[in-house]
Amino acid sequence: MILVTGPLILGAARLWLELPLLGGVALLLLLQGLRLTRSPASSEIRRADAIDISVMLFVLYTIGRWLTSPAEYFSRIEAMDVMAYAVIFFTCRYGISSRRYGLALLFILVGLGVLELIFGYYLSHHLDWFPFGVTERLHLYYFPRWTGTYGCPNHYGSILVMAIGAALALGCFSKLAWPMRIFLFYLAGMMMVGVMFSLSRGSYLALMASVGALTFFGLRHGTVRWWVPVTAAVLLIVAGIYLFSQSSDVRERVGQAQEGVMSGNLSNYIRVQLARDAMRITADHPVWGTGPGTFVFVHPRYQDNTFVRKAVLAHNDYLNCLADYGIVGFGIAIFFVAAVTFAFLGPLWADHRWQDRVIIAAGFAAWSAYLVHSLVDFNLHIPANALLLFALVGLGLGRLRRDEAVPHWSTLSLSRLGSWFGWSVVILSLFFGAEACRTALGDITYEQVYNHWDEVPINNSIQDAEQSLVYDPNNVQDIVFLGDLHRYQASRKEDIEDRVSEGQKAMDYYRQAIKLNSLDDTISAKMGLTFDIMRRYAEAYFSYKQAVTEQPYNGQFWYWLGNHYWQRGMLDKAEQAYLRAAKCPHGKEGSLDAINELRALPGRENAQDVSAPLEDSSLPEQPPAEQPSAEQSQAPAEMTTSPDQGTPYDPSNHPPTVP
């Protein structure tokens, strides 16, 4: 249920399903714990090797960093994901002892790949279909690239690569009837078409790594002459390159990469920029990192003026781990990577059956593909794909038999713990389930209110949003949203006392949010908006100053600061702020219109040209307490009336849906 539901519905990242699915992981952990409470049979030896120990250490380290993180809510979600990966890994390595179940999971994976292929094809030809709601429109942004259920072609291509590896492993190393094996080869070929139309260059590299791993496995553990797997791999790669080259879209994508390399302009390539920024973050937080799931908040403080997007992750799982978890967490993760790789490269026992070879080959293919793809993407941060990867790796390692009767220095005996080990797992499962339950209830309630806040009276939205905090008092997204709702309501009040009263409620929520996530500079900027509504201009200025100081290339912050200056009648400063916003790589929407309206005021026809360099880009310690004249204080025309009521309101007023 967990592995199938992930790709088909969870896709890239949908918390409304991911969090309930973690409840299924908690149930799985509970069942495994109850199994471990039984006394082991006389022939059963419970021992953890170096791979198992590294997984447990990383889980413990992640929990520790969650509890000390400056962004507890987001670190909690990532910590629960890490826990889920470990549960799936251990279940598939030790809890699935039957070869039949392992093969069944491989066939299910192939079926998932085929379903994703069909879904991606259908969606690319029905762009007006929004299967996960009208708000999910990424397939329109990426068109003509196929995205499947993921909304992102890179992660869509990754699951197809895993399914292709499973199909080729079943076709090459099994003893199934030849018609079935030929059919599996056919399915693998069809899924390669899906990878081609994803136009994901990382998936292309991952596919070649998967085929290379299967070729290596065939050379080492196959039953045919060496030239057979080599010839088959060469023919497959040559045929793939030929077919891929027939697509003009593929040629364009590859040409873009070639042009970047040949021109020597890679320094401005988005992935190179992200890698550079991740290293800068690591330099400032080398040992423990910034905390799980915090890259999205920390990165804007390190990006330069050429980075045009807001990055959620680093597009490199290795560097993302290094920035979030520091050298300590990264070291544990790299040890796990090295240990698993050496385990797959080791010899097979002579009594391994063909079923074992198939399962190990599929796991090795997926592992090799992700080792490569993780250099340029973040599939390990996509639960749907990461769960499948660790399932395949766990299955493969589980079929690598060890001589349990002979102790080894790298193993740790668990037998001496007896049933207490199982009961510890049971207690852990209950704690994990409780955290997943409260997080899911709080998030689902919040998302329902957030998506429909403008369809009901504002007071009802506030009451429903407060209900989310009953389930999860630390849901910082909901707390910020409540601040936005009160700020929006304050801007509607004509009486200054009512404004201050409602604005103070917004400030209380924003201050609470700052304590729960001190890395989110947007909260400081929104506090500035609220202070403007309350006419507390000096405090508003310092809030904006803090935001633009931390993120000097965020055009949205400079735009809000320009509104603040205009409202105070400081038109020269307002124009400077708008100009600064217009020159920012992102968030500059509306700044040019504001500049044009500002220059339309009497006496401002000869203002500075937008393309000219800024005369003074610095902020004064404290702007003079100027008061706006009746003429100067008019905000841009499109901002002076509410779109639905037509009543005057502050230029600093923004609906809650604006980030």
User: Cβ neighbours of residue 527 under 8 Å, at least 6 residues apart?
Assistant: 507, 510, 511, 540, 543
User: Cβ neighbours of residue 357 under 8 Å, at least 6 residues apart?
Assistant: 173, 217, 221, 348
The whole-number pLDDT of residue 633 equals 40
Tell me which residues of the chain have a pLDDT lower than 70.
10-12, 40-44, 257-261, 263-266, 350-352, 401-410, 604-659
The whole-number pLDDT of residue 43 equals 62
User: Cβ neighbours of residue 583 under 8 Å, at least 6 residues apart?
Assistant: 305, 555, 614
251-254: list long-range contacts, CB under 8 Å, 24+ apart.
253/199, 253/201, 254/201
Half-sphere CA count of 215, side-chain side, radius 13 A: 17
Tokens 């395949």: give the residue: 392
Q: What are phi and psi of 641, to 5 degrees?
A: -130, 145
The whole-number pLDDT of residue 334 equals 97
In this structure, the strands spanning 47-48 and 412-413 are antiparallel
Instruction: Give the number of other Cβ atoms within 10 Å of residue 585's Cβ.
Output: 16
Task: Say which amino acid occupies 304.
Answer: D
> Which residues, in sequence order, are bridge partners of residue 47?
413
Please tell me the distance from the alpha carbon of residue 616 to that of residue 255, in angstroms, as a whole number: 41
For the chain, the first-to-last Cα distance in angstroms comes to 35
> Which residues, in sequence order, are bridge partners of residue 554?
586
The whole-number pLDDT of residue 337 equals 97
| Secondary structure letter of residue 636 according to DSSP | P
Output the CA–CA distances (angstroms, integers) from residue 410 to 46, 91, 413, 536, in the order listed: 14, 21, 10, 64
Helix H or strand E encompassing 503? helix 496-516
Best CA proximity match to 360, nearest among 504, 214, 562:
214
Give CA angle at 125 (121, 131), nearest 5°.
80
The whole-number pLDDT of residue 632 equals 39
Domain-wise residue ranges, the chain: 1-39+419-474, 48-401, 475-639
Best CA proximity match to 247, nearest among 188, 195, 212:
195
Q: What are phi and psi of 307, to 5 degrees?
A: -90, 115
Best CA proximity match to 362, nearest among 118, 148, 87, 92:
92
The whole-number pLDDT of residue 607 equals 56
CATH homologous superfamily for the domain 475-639: Tetratricopeptide repeat domain (1.25.40.10)
Please tell me the distance from the alpha carbon of residue 291 to that of residue 329, in angstroms, as a whole number: 10
Please tell me the distance from the alpha carbon of residue 472 to that of residue 206, in angstroms, as a whole number: 40
Give CA angle at 15 (72, 451), nearest 5°.
105
Please tell me the distance from the alpha carbon of residue 358 to that of residue 361, in angstroms, as a whole number: 5
The whole-number pLDDT of residue 629 equals 39
